[in-house]
Amino acid sequence: MTHLDILKGKLADKTALIGIVGLGYVGLPLMLRYAEAKYRVLGIDIDNDKITQLNLGQSYIEHIGAQAIAAAKSAGFEATTDFAQAAKADAIILCVPTPLNKHREPDLSHILSTIDALLPHLRTGQVISLESTTYPGTTEEELLPPMQSTGLTVGKDIFLVYSPEREDPGNGNFTTRTIPKLCGGITPSCLEAGLALYGQVIDTLVPVSSTRTAEMTKLLENIHRAVNIGLVNEMKIVCDRMEIDIHEVIRAAATKPFGFVPYYPGPGLGGHCIPIDPFYLTWKAREYGLNTKFIELAGEVNRAMPEWVAGKVVDALNAHGKSVKGSKILVLGTAYKKNVDDMRESPAIAMMRILEGKGAAVSYSDPHVPRLHPSHDQPFALESVTLSAQTLAAADCVLIATNHGKFDYDAIKRHSRLIVDSRGVYLEPAAHIVKA
């Protein structure tokens, strides 16, 4: 039997050990899905705190409960910081971050350091899958050469695929299992191994001709959103100047049963994918002498939104006889999207920075983020304020940055002196509500 046949047999009868490197918003749900499907799973992460919590049966992601972690542990899940344990795994799935550096260029350091840590422990009969969003060519150019340097033949001894994550934290309509999964392989045998890896845990698989195609597909998905959000954000600015409610326009346009898909403006883009992924393609396109002007323009519009909304706060305060300097501004919602605790690339933090820089006293309330811890990209050390009639009335301005479902918007409207609404929460105009 070939190494591929043996691997497929282990995956089919669920005797394969699944290794997942990176236990964040992508890796942890994937671990739970494999454990639910009765696979043994080995989780690897460089964060000691995460490993400790997981081994104690605890969760650090709000929408993933401790019960789910405990169930995975009872099914054989183990977590470790020791990359040598990867030698035991029949499949290794990489779910590590791919941020931008300070020059807004792709930062593959997490992928490269992970591969370096894994190389001594790779062996025949394994399938390696990269799920991190990246530019077309990454799997071939950055993972394939070091794997070949081990003496293992990719496509015969060991198998390499790219299968991008499609997680949407907080979306109750789709799960890891029900979201169709792309997969591209370095060779046909690699693709076969990848399909065997995911086939028993994902309902629908979408094989594509190459890893480059899979990488480009993932970028297109997120660039599509970024460009359309950029369009409605630009339309919002035009509508604001013309004293037209962009949300009313979108609601009216959405009644057309064909040819229009509603996208909604906001204070800027957040999360790991949509604000970042377009820059992976624009960077790679320059290697081919191409300028992706349309994509870059959308990025410029979206990056300008926190400054624009902060400007609306300043104008609203001025209109009510207040200077932003010394004003108390209560920001509602610091997560990047509604009903989650994910803070990555949150535009709320960008707006808080801007307003504090103008002399405002900034506080926040977020039922999903009880406290802010200072980090390299987040300077605030604050605790979430409990919303009450008193806390709302004490603020000179309440800025709705994230429209969480747990907020009582009627009470917010009733008790706030001034509201700047960047999410289109309030449909009806009011003297103390400013649309932004």
* Residues 103 and 228 occupy one common structural domain: no
The CA-to-CA distance between both ends of the chain, in Å, stands at 64
Which residue range is the domain that position 371 belongs to? 304-436
pLDDT value for 278: 84
Point out the domain boundary residue: 239, 269, 303: 303
Mean pLDDT of 378-402: 95
* Residues 179 and 320 occupy one common structural domain: no
* Residues 406 and 277 occupy one common structural domain: no
Identify the CA nearest to 186 among candidates 219, 133, 130, 144. Answer: 144
* Residues 168 and 297 occupy one common structural domain: no
Residues annotated as catalytic (active site), given as ranges: 273
* Residues 12 and 142 occupy one common structural domain: yes
Neighbours of 253 (CB within 10 A): 12
* Residues 296 and 359 occupy one common structural domain: no
* Residues 200 and 264 occupy one common structural domain: no
pLDDT value for 60: 92
Is the predicted pLDDT of residue 273 greater than 80, yes or no? no
* Residues 193 and 277 occupy one common structural domain: no
Domain of 409, CATH number, reads 3.40.50.720
Q: Hey, what are 293's tokens?
A: 């002007």
* Residues 77 and 170 occupy one common structural domain: yes
* Residues 152 and 17 occupy one common structural domain: yes
Q: How many domains does the chain have?
A: 3
Identify the CA nearest to 209 among candidates 191, 224, 194. Answer: 191
* Residues 157 and 105 occupy one common structural domain: yes
- Angle 264-269-271 (CA atoms, 0-180°, nearest 5)? 120
Q: For residue range 8-18, what is the model confidence (pLDDT) as tens digits?
A: 999 999 999 99
Q: Hey, what are 347's tokens?
A: 């535009």
Is the predicted pLDDT of residue 167 greater than 90, yes or no? no
Is the predicted pLDDT of residue 272 greater than 80, yes or no? no
* Residues 202 and 74 occupy one common structural domain: yes
Is the predicted pLDDT of residue 376 greater than 80, yes or no? no
Point out the domain boundary residue: 174, 194, 209: 209
202-239 core/surface letters (b: 16 or more CB in 10 A; e: else) = beebebbebbbebbbbbbebbbebbbebbbbbbbbeeb
Point out the domain boundary residue: 271, 303, 335: 303
Q: For residue range 89-135, what is the model confidence (pLDDT) as tens digits?
A: 999 999 999 988 877 788 999 999 999 999 999 999 999 999 999 99
Of residues 291 and 272, more confidence is placed in 291
